[in-house]
Chain A
Amino acid sequence: MSKFDNIKNIIVKDQLKLDCGQTISDFPIAYETYGKLNSKKDNAILVFHALTGDQFATDINPITKKDGWWKYALGKGKAIDTNKYFVICANVLGGCMGSFGPSSLNKKTGKPYGNDFPVITINDMVNAQYFLLKHFKIEKLFCVTGGSMGGMQVLQFVANYPNASHTAVPIACTSNHSAQNIGFNELGRQAIMADSNWQNGKYEETNNSPNKGLSVARMAAHITYLSKDALQEKFGRKLQERDDLKFSFDADFQIESYLRHQGSVFVDRFDANSYLYITRAMDYFDLNKKFGGNLSKAFEKSKTKFFIMSFTSDWLYPTPENKEIVIALNSIGADVGFVEIESDKGHDSFLLNVPDFLKTLGNFLNTSYERLHEKRI
């Protein structure tokens, strides 16, 4: 019995050729849906999750028993209104919530793949999720959306399937990982691999896992998701349940205690090898290079209506990187809207209760949906 026995998945029977050269088939893609697909099948939104997300975008995640990662944006009466839209969200290839990933069992050896799992890319993730459209017999989605790595998948999706979605909303993302992005990801990977419990990726065959390394990776990454101002405002130099410094390496400061907590709860829900693979996929993402240094070419064949959002305090995927995508689209006369949302919550703004963001996202979707229907009548 696996903990994933009761969650939805499709088994992809087709062959999928990966960027690394290997071909996979007969693999699971786990997914969840919200709302109802209408009879015309024209109200479907495919939501892509970020690095540590999963298919349980809203409501209570049945595995972790925690709220879904996009609970503010997605649900009944929310920006992505599930009274109206049918939302599909899948666990990415390489993930650890039921989709084919490094913790899956290798049928040849009878053991988990570990680091024998093929190195996957954003392109592979998107191609794997495309099978869900066939599964639901959806010819054309109403929208593809996601933030951060989810936004990268949105861009890749439109590049790969130019006519598979009416609209695309990439949020707080980039068309290629910067040196700083790669640097931070490498820091996380090195933390995991430096943990002796990692055991060259074969830890699942033992009773130990590299929790310390994974936890440090999460702590470092978590800092990059927040803004300096937000951290300062929330924690400043406040001390953790003590009146004075203890002259030790204990968590004297609240920020230390907070990050340690973030690290420790993360290891309960995330697989270290998945973290290695997914961060690698992000680092390899370079849509510009894939299209001969001209990002516009990625979207040339598409009539998809784009709406891009970034956040003022996001220094991980800052506004100029989002604007590069806008510029590439404008230079080919594509239909693209863009706004930078004022928020002090850093990169994580897209996951949080940022009213301007939520309102604007909802307005874009609803007016686009209405217009689409007007055109048809």
Chain B
Amino acid sequence: MMDKYTFLQKIGIYSSLALFILFMLLPFVEMFIASLRPLTHLFSRPDVPVGETMTFMDFMSRFYSDKMSFQAYRDMWVTVPQLPRYIFNSVFLSTAVTFFSMCFIVPAAYAYARFDFRGKTISLTLFLAVNMFSGAVLLIPLYKLLRVYGLLNTYWAMIIPGVAFLIPTGIWLLKSFLEKIPYELEEAAFVDGASRLYTLRRVILPLAVPGLIVVGVAMFIGAYAQQFLFAITFNQDRDYMPLPAGIFEFIGYQDVLWNEMMAASLVGILPVLLIFLFMQKHLIAGLTSGAVKE
């Protein structure tokens, strides 16, 4: 009864929802349309004679041309020959960042989820405090640090800061997953004579696999998203450049090749979009578990 809507209410809900989603998806739709339009069409404003206003039909003509094609998706590899390399770099960097950050996150999250020890609250708070700083305020010393170790203009220049800034979030996320595994299981393993590390490896980890996957995917998406700042600051070598930085090459001195730039952007977001599509249910549940009172 309570959840029944009148016809008008239904229309209201669906149309507001449509507006909301239109706002969220408009840039992607427009990017896709732009990627299909030939450059000459992109750079032709709807013809409006002097003194007259643009009509609806004039406006609509910007969305369609009979020369629309997927040509930009072929040309972009020629305009920016390094493009495959950039895409590879993006995926490679995110994978590496995910792998290394998980190596640090798993043991720490386990400790926070399972034990009560001296300095627990304060150290956890300090970890979380790191989330308050963006990489931008630490760029200068990080630049210096990476230069001292000779890591500027290498993959490491983007991996190391990337890992560091993902660790706190990762620990926090995984901790809430691990807390849900009953500790009686570990107790049983101990009674049978298993060591602490053996228990972690053989009892806890297998049970934590769903949580590990969600946290891993969240780290991958985070790593994919944060590449830009570190890439433009710590790396000048085009061989190691990730896609978001590489896309700037479509902005020439004369023209911006908008159609190819949009095509490359859309191809570049495919990896994260695919992962998200397969994982979205678990991902949303995992990420928002903190929002619900227990």
| A, B in one complex | no
Show the binding face of A for B, using Cβ within 8 Å.
none
Show the binding face of B for A, using Cβ within 8 Å.
none
